[in-house]
Structures are given as C-alpha cells and as structure tokens.
Chains A and B, each alone.
Chain A
Amino acid sequence: MALLELDGVTRRYGALVALDQVAMRVEDGEVRAVIGPNGAGKTTLFNVITGTVKPSAGAIRFAGHAIGGLPSHEVCRLGISRTFQITSLFPEMSARDNARLSAQARHGRRWQPFGGAKVFAESEALADAALQQLGLGAIADQPAGLLSHGDQRLLEVAMAMAQQPRVLLLDEPTQGLSVEETAQAVETLARFLHASKMTVLLVEHDMEVVFRLAQRITVLHRGAVIADGTPDEVKADARVQDAYLGGLE
C-alpha cells in the first residue's frame, strides 16, 4: 500500500481550477519529483497535502489516515514535514536552535511551561543528528540569518528532518541559489537521500536537479497530471514535450 495517496484531488479558486482531479501514489522510500510549467499547480498541491489549503474535492490518504482538510499542524504531527519555496527560518536563533525548535514540535511535552531540560535535550539530540545528516554540524552555533543561502536552504531540510517525518516535502530546495551553490546543495541532498532512504516529494524547476535526485516523476500541467513514470519515460513522453514547448510559444 502506498504511503501517500491522492485520489481525484481538486482545488478551485473561483473559476480557476488550480488542481484538477489529481491522482498519485507515493510508495515508501520513493523520491518523487513533481514538475510542470509555471502555474501548473505544484505549490498548490503541496499546500493541499499539508493542510494549508483545503481541497475542494477528492481524498488524500497518508499511512491509512484521511488527511484531506485537516489543519496543517495536525497533518504535520502525523509525519509530513515540508520546506518552503522562499526561505523561512528563525534568523536570530542559531542553526541548532532552529532545528531544536522544529524537533520539539513532535515532542509530547513541547508546551511544558517550566523546566524542560529533558525536552530540550531530547529535541537537541534529534536536531544535531539532522544537522549532521545535511553536513551542517560545523555551523550549528551560527545564527541562521547569517548563514550562506545554500546553507539556509539545507538548514530548512534539516529542520524538517529533525521532526523525523515519514514523508518530506521539498518545495524547490535550490530556489534562489547560484549555479555553484545549487551544485553543492544537490550533491549534499543526493548523499543525504541515498543514506536516509527517506520518502520525498520534490517540486523543482531545475530539470538537472530533478533527474539527479528523483526516481519517479509526475508531470502537472494546468492542474492535471499528464504523465507519471521514470525519468526516461517522462523524457520520452510526447504530451510532456508539448506542455513544456507549448508553454514557450
């Protein structure tokens, strides 16, 4: 059974159909990329899965739970963590404290209003492990706001990982990075994904990044799935070429 399953998921904004009957299955341990031209509905798809936006119709199942329409903090707690297209961190806290606050969100006593040495220690252990996984161990004490853009993007991934999610949603993890920064970040991500066997749903513009990281690709066009397969199958698909080239005209 698939870990994450979407069935007929539709989201309308007035007359605009941002997602049109989207169906997809993400297996445990799979790295799946979602691609498509601008305005294809990729970010809306993430928002619907994570509960930031309610689906107008359709069902979303995650590890046996129906999560369509649940508030985002509940979805998050079931084991779906995400990063954002635009970097969003706690700039004045250290990288470690960023990851620690993220890990704390999963702790049973995250709200404890006194003491908390145990909560902090347990969260920090998860935070440090996640920072190590993404090669950020050396800069853990620096304020997040002062890190390089590449490290900030990786810190976001580390924060998501510190929550020990079952699915990781990465929204354009190399957005805003220079060519060299992108290459470095992609290598780190590839190594990390290979080592962790994490289930990942990845939105990305940069096709090189997609082909380097993803095992399967889903192509969205005007809110609908037009192709779904291995990178080679997708490359060869006539409709995909049409959608991309058509977008250029």
Chain B
Amino acid sequence: MSRSTRVKTTTGMAALVVALVVLVLAPLGLPPFAMTLLTEAVILGLFAMSLDLMFGYTRLVSFGHAAAYGLGAYACGWMLLNTGMPLLFAVFAAALLTGAVGIGVGWMCTLATGVSFSMLTLAFAQLLYAISFKWTSVTGGSDGLAGIPRTVGPFGFAALSSKAGFYYLALACLVGGFLVCRALVRSPFGAVLRGIRENEAKTTALGYNTRLYKIAVVAIAYGLGGLAGALYAPFAGFANTELLFWLLSGQVLIMVIVGGAGTLIGPVLGAAFFMLMEHQLSAWTEAWALYFGLIFIAFVLFAPQGIWGLATGLAGGRLRSAEQRH
C-alpha cells in the first residue's frame, strides 16, 4: 500500500468515525420531524448499500431490488400484525426469509447474464408486485398492511419502540450491515466478485464456479435489502404495494450510482441525497421528480464516479498536491 492510499484510508476512517458520532448524537439536537427523515434516510441507506454488493462489486445490474425491500416489509409487517412476535425478532426473521428467497431468485436470474439477468430480476419483482395485489388475505391487496405495531419484546427492549430508540435500531443495522459488507468485499470471496465484475469469462476459466458466487451475493444482497424493508414496515406503520414497484427499484439504483457504486458508503450518501432532494425539491416545486431525473442524467454523463468518488477524488487530489510540494 502506497503512502498516499494509506493516508487517504486513515482520513476516510476518521471522516467515518466523525460521521458516526454525529449520527449517534443526532437525536439530542434534531426536532422530531427531522428525526423521521433521518431514520428513513438510514433505512434507505442500508437498502442502497445492499444493492451496491450486486451492482458495484459484481456488476449484477438488478432492476428488481424493490422485491427484497417489499418482501422484507410485508414479512415483518405480517409477523408483527398476526403473531405478536417482538419487534427485534420479527425484523431479523423477515431479513432471513428474504435472504432465503434471494437464493431462489439468484438461482433463477443467474440462468441468464447481462441484460437478460436485469430483466429477470425485474420480472421477479413485478411478479411479487402482482401477487401483493391478488393475495389479499395476507397482503391486504391494494390497501396493503396498515397499523403495524412496534411490539415490545419480553427482554426490556421497550426503548426500541420510541422514536429515538427505533432510530438507534436502524442505525445499528446500518453500521452492522456496513461492517458485514466491508468484510465481505475485502475477503477472498470479495476478490472473486471483483473478478466477475471485470471479466466473468476469465474468472470461470480460472476455475471458479462463478454462478455459485453470484447466487450467494444475490442472497446476501436480498437479506440486507430485506432487513431494510423489515425496518421500514414498523417505522412507517404500513407496508403497501409501492414498496414492490419497479419505480423503487429504479430509485435505489439511482441512489447507488449518484452516491458512487462500489464504495458501500457512497450509496448511503446517495440515499441521503435522494431523501434531501425529494424533500427540498417537492417543497419548492411540484415537478421534483422531473428535476431529479435531470440531475440523475447529469450524474451519469458527467460524474459517473458519484458523490463519494467526487469527494474522495477531491481529497486525494489535495493530498497528492500536498505530497508534491514536500
């Protein structure tokens, strides 16, 4: 590792720690309304980060990642409404269930590669979307599931059902998810994923069973995406068909790209940026989605490395010029 990358990593870690401290202290200073937005941004950040494993690290372009979010949300909501399961348990059970479904989805979608893979993920998500309308007894049809409670468990987790408590739960999931993803992409497994991203045919020729790796990464991404959805249901108090709609799949892809694919942190920033834009632009103009689409196109054209790439590029450039001066 060269000196400049080591310095860059240290600065990056320092920035992350500062950000984490700010996020932990946020409930002390922010009004309830802002806390609601922040919690949603944290949940969406986890969702976007899960897609980054597929898109950023393996170049598996999913057009149906809403399937993971919606499935997690419906599963968690149903359990909280119908079984009296405590919140914490329902959230993780829903995430596990989504991950298990992800194995099947991964198996099915990796039959194809490239564009066909993307379309299969989309088709699966739309299938779930259709089912959510028809299977009324479980999903509540077009009304969705409403009045989802934050059932307190027997072990004194009452604090989790409060506004700040729930925020900390979401934040813990985000940080935990980040640590898991980071370990994953830096591991031997992650090295194989990067091989698939750059040259899948060669990776196969080297003797890797690339399809198994792809199925595994889809399952993990679904599990984490499902965790985000499972947090959303008790956060919002409802789960509806919108959570499975292709528009959300597209939006999360935008968050990943605008934030910076293949960086884990970038997509979280992308999600926060998306929330901010949605909130600010929609207060200012009715046509916010129009402007957001234009901003997105501009990012693809002029800044494909995303927000995080721009930021670290700037910091890196400053470091390099500082080194040259010495």
Question: In their complex, do chains A and B touch, with some C-beta pair under 8 Å?
Answer: yes
A84 to B202, CA, bound (A): 9
Q: Which residues of B contact A234 (CB under 8 A)?
A: none
Given A104-B188, A112-B189, A119-B188, residue A76 in contact with residue B207 (CB < 8 A)? yes
Given A73-B209, A106-B207, residue A111 in contact with residue B192 (CB < 8 A)? yes
Is A90 positioned at the interface, with any CB of B under 8 Å from its CB? yes
Is A203 positioned at the interface, with any CB of B under 8 Å from its CB? no
State whether A73 touches B207 (Cβ < 8 A).
yes
State whether B188 touches A163 (Cβ < 8 A).
no
In angstroms, how far is the closest chain B Cβ from the Cβ of A77?
A: 5
State whether B192 touches A92 (Cβ < 8 A).
no
A112 to B183, CA, bound (A): 10
State whether A115 touches B183 (Cβ < 8 A).
yes
Is B238 positioned at the interface, with any CB of A under 8 Å from its CB? no
Candidates A73, A89, A113; contact of B199 at CB < 8 Å: A89
Is B204 positioned at the interface, with any CB of A under 8 Å from its CB? yes
| B181-214 to A contact mask, C-beta < 8 Å, 1/0 | 0011011111110110011011111111100010
A73 to B202, CA, bound (A): 11
Count of A interface residues, CB-CB < 8 Å: 36
A84 to B192, CA, bound (A): 20
State whether B187 touches A112 (Cβ < 8 A).
yes
Residue of B194, B203, B205, B209 most packed against chain A (CB within 10 A) = B205
Q: Which residues of B contact A191 (CB under 8 A)?
A: none
9 contacts between A and B (CB under 8 A): A73-B209, A77-B207, A90-B194, A90-B199, A104-B192, A105-B207, A114-B189, A115-B183, A159-B206
Chain A interface residues (CB < 8 Å from chain B): 50, 71-73, 76-77, 81-82, 84, 88-93, 97, 100-102, 104-107, 109-116, 119-120, 123, 159, 163
Task: Report whether over half of chain B's contact residues are helix, strand or loop; otherwise say mixed.
Answer: helix
Candidates B184, B188, B199, B213; contact of A88 at CB < 8 Å: B199
**Which bracket fits the contact residues of B?**
20 to 34
A68 to B193, CA, bound (A): 29
State whether B184 touches A110 (Cβ < 8 A).
no
State whether B201 touches A107 (Cβ < 8 A).
no
| B104-139 to A contact mask, C-beta < 8 Å, 1/0 | 000000000000000000000000000000000000
A91 to B188, CA, bound (A): 19
Known: A71-B209, A111-B188. 5 other contacts (CB 8 A): A76-B207, A88-B201, A112-B187, A115-B187, A119-B188
Given A73-B208, A105-B206, residue A110 in contact with residue B188 (CB < 8 A)? yes
Residue of B nearest to A75 (CB): B207
Residue of A91, A112, A113 most packed against chain B (CB within 10 A) = A113
State whether B191 touches A104 (Cβ < 8 A).
yes
Given A89-B199, A90-B195, A101-B195, residue A109 in contact with residue B206 (CB < 8 A)? no
Q: Which residues of B contact A110 (CB under 8 A)?
A: 188, 192, 208
A82 to B207, CA, bound (A): 10
State whether A105 touches B208 (Cβ < 8 A).
yes
State whether B188 touches A120 (Cβ < 8 A).
yes
State whether A116 touches B202 (Cβ < 8 A).
no
State whether A76 touches B205 (Cβ < 8 A).
yes
Residue of A nearest to B184 (CB): A113
Residue of B198, B205, B206 most packed against chain A (CB within 10 A) = B206
A170 to B51, CA, bound (A): 39
State whether B184 touches A72 (Cβ < 8 A).
no
Q: Which residues of B contact A163 (CB under 8 A)?
A: 206-207
State whether A93 touches B205 (Cβ < 8 A).
no
In angstroms, how far is the closest chain B Cβ from the Cβ of A145?
A: 9
Residue of A nearest to B191 (CB): A101
State whether B194 touches A88 (Cβ < 8 A).
no
State whether B202 touches A90 (Cβ < 8 A).
yes
Residue of B nearest to A101 (CB): B195
In angstroms, how far is the closest chain A Cβ from the Cβ of B135?
A: 34
Q: Which residues of A contact B205 (CB under 8 A)?
A: 50, 72, 76, 82, 84, 88
Q: Which residues of A contact B213 (CB under 8 A)?
A: 111
A119 to B186, CA, bound (A): 12
Q: Which of B215-254 contact A (CB under 8 A)?
A: 216
In angstroms, how far is the closest chain A Cβ from the Cβ of B33?
A: 39
State whether A90 touches B184 (Cβ < 8 A).
no
State whether B201 touches A113 (Cβ < 8 A).
no
Q: Which residues of A contact B192 (CB under 8 A)?
A: 101, 104, 110-111
State whether A111 touches B189 (Cβ < 8 A).
yes
In angstroms, how far is the closest chain B Cβ from the Cβ of A191?
A: 25
In angstroms, how far is the closest chain B Cβ from the Cβ of A193?
A: 21
